[in-house]
Amino acid sequence: MRANAFTFPYTFFRQGAEQVLTELSKSGFTGINLALNYHGSRDFLLRQGPQLEYLADGFHYYLPDESKYALDSIKPAAADHLLDNKMLEGVMAAAKSVGMEINAWAVFMHNSGIGVVEPSACVQNALDNRFLSELCPSNPRVAKYAYGLVADLISRGITSIAMESMHWHGARHGEHHERFFMELSVTTEFLISLCFCKSCIANFDATGADGAALKAKVASALQPFLTDKDPWLGAEVTKAGLAKILGDDILKYLNVREATLADVYAEIFRIASAAGVQVSYVDQSTLLDMNTTNPLDLSWLVGIDPELIKKSLTAFEPLVYRKSADEVASIFKHYKERLDMRLKPILRPTFPDNTDEQTLKDKVAVLTKLGATDIDFYLLDTWRPRDLTWVANALAN
């Protein structure tokens, strides 16, 4: 069984890399997914303290190599990275000594560090509001930033890249203390976050369609919600339902953005494969509806067509954040039946998914029984010592 721990750099700011990796190796881990680019957050980290840590948005936890980025690409700002590579180089050296693999864990499109400085690179909805925490992958300069980030990371000697947030997002995913003092149906939330930036419209127009006209239709459809009441409360959001509201052009528009994103994945895969580095997609579709056991059916909400992007991936890494082993089994079976490829399910050994050791053992056991050869665990820095013990015992069992 291959098992990696998702890990923040903060562990290695305060503890020797060889000591950390040796402990993980003895606990059954074969490597770590080290956050080298991450979004803003406030985290209660236990290995460090306890310590409340404030992570800067879009921060690069190394010294970027600007030569890896195209001249017209968005590039990491001076305030958004470390001043040296001491932490990363120390981890890489220790990994070689201990015999562990180091994978880069990177967040791509959820980045207000870039968005605030480059608002034209962000998602712009039908009401001309910009989501400064969300970059649009249709934007050529944003895509080139992603290519440069990948090229830079693979030059560091990593084994694989775990790509998080390599897609669009919903309306309520991005900022501290968000306020929506009205009920939003899932249809409204989708439409109010759907990007109509210049790049998205241009891609649609290139097919002979009229992006500006569709944008106006979406803005008009949102008026009842803005002035009185959401007309779609309690209803599921489906492509067929959107077509009834907006006509068939919305289906063509969604197909274009899925194809556009698949092209970005293909280029990332080409860059990484040329260097012998693997590419995994950290799939958050499981979080779009915590009650579903068919999360891939919801991937289109964030612009993902699993059949298109799987050609450009070494593995899918679904976040299997569920409380029971039966739920974990159902989701893994869904991915296994739909995707004929390597799967790396991600478990949380902590609250709210786990409150006892046996449940975690049961989850690992059922995944193993169903054929999983990889299981990753989130998030080392937040674990109590007992949580690491639970993981070790589950892996040993």
Instruction: Tell me the CATH number at 390.
Output: 3.20.20.80
Q: What pLDDT is attached to residue 100?
A: 97
Does residue 55 form part of some domain?
yes
Does residue 251 form part of some domain?
no
Q: What pLDDT is attached to residue 31?
A: 98
Residue 266 has pLDDT above 90, yes or no: yes
Cβ atoms of 126 and 219 within 8 Å: the answer is yes
Strand partners, 164: 107
Does residue 353 form part of some domain?
yes
Does residue 214 form part of some domain?
no
pTM for this one? 0.97
Does residue 249 form part of some domain?
no
Q: Read off the pLDDT of each residue in 31-53 and give the average, rounded to a whole number.
A: 92
How confident is residue 178, by pLDDT bands cut at 50, 70 and 90? Answer: confident
Summarize pLDDT for 285-317 with one digit per residue, the tens: 999 999 999 999 999 999 999 999 999 999 999
What DSSP letter does each residue of 236-269 carry, written as one string?
PP-HHHHHHHH-THHHHHHHHHHHHHHHHHHHHH
How confident is residue 173, by pLDDT bands cut at 50, 70 and 90? Answer: low
Domain count, the chain: 1
How confident is residue 397, by pLDDT bands cut at 50, 70 and 90? Answer: confident
Three-state SS at 161: strand
In terms of residue numbers, what domain contains 350? Answer: 2-176+258-396
How confident is residue 174, by pLDDT bands cut at 50, 70 and 90? Answer: low
Does residue 228 form part of some domain?
no
Separation of alpha carbons 215 and 80, rounded Å: 34
Q: What pLDDT is attached to residue 231?
A: 97
Summarize pLDDT for 245-257 with one digit per residue, the tens: 999 999 999 999 9
Cβ atoms of 197 and 253 within 8 Å: the answer is no
Q: Read off the pLDDT of each residue in 347-357 and give the average, rounded to a whole number.
A: 97
Does residue 221 form part of some domain?
no
Q: What pLDDT is attached to residue 47?
A: 86
Does residue 309 form part of some domain?
yes
Average pLDDT, the chain: 96
Buried/exposed 164-178: b ≥16 CB within 10 Å, e otherwise:
bbbbbbbbebbeeee
Q: Residue 258 class from Cβ within 10 Å (0-12 exposed, 13-18 middle, 19+ buried)?
A: buried
